[in-house]
Amino acid sequence: MNTRIECELRWQSKAVTRPLAWSESMHERRANSPPAPAPHNAFTLIELILVLALLVIITSLAAPAMATFIRGRALDSESRRLTALMHAGQSRAVSEGLPMVLWMDEKQGAYGLQAETTGQAGDPKAETLTLDSTLQITVLNSGASAPTSFNNLPAIRFLPDGTIDESSPKTLQLTDTAGFKRWLTETRNRSGYEIGDIQK
């Protein structure tokens, strides 16, 4: 019986010491072996191609919307600039007590404001503006049979009381190269022009 117990104890002691010896030898091997190379933090060619493909898809989806936004912005800014010049003409007509004309040169893509009657030196406050290269201005719906003109160009005439002459154009149209349009239409009481996306 004692010999059986002794055998079991010997077997257990060998089982316990064997993993320790094995782990020590593995530790020695790792210490003596050269260090493993560090992993490279770089993109593979397939990953780069996928990223570029995604960028192309996103750009192709966003480009039309951006183009429409830019075109609309050019039309809006030009129509606001034209409206501001109209307000300046009305203000000058009232403050100076003289009719002012806002002329439009459809062929040259320009428009300007000056006093209808000037002295020899001309109008020192006269302004001339050039349309954006992508836009065109058109005069529509002339009022009377003899529309207002200035130097053989269609014009809007602002009277000293701040109203617009009856023979002035009723509608101005701004068009860009893609065919998008903005209209400046005379108000019913002839006090100014309003900007719209639809022709009235």
Domain ranges of the chain: 45-196
Report the share of the chain in percent with pLDDT over 70: 71
pLDDT averaged over the chain? 80
Closest CA to 192 of 164, 165, 170: 164
Arithmetic mean of pLDDT, 85-108: 93
Predicted confidence at residue 69, as pLDDT, reads 61
Nearest to 137 by CA among 154, 118, 125, 122: 154
| 20 has pLDDT over 70 | no
Burial 140-155 (b: 16+ CB within 10 A, else e): eebbeeebbebeebbb
CA distance 107 to 146: 21
CATH topology of domain 45-196: minor pseudopilin epsh fold (3.55.40)
Q: How confident is the model at residue 29 (pLDDT cuts 50, 70, 90)?
A: low
pLDDT at 104: 93
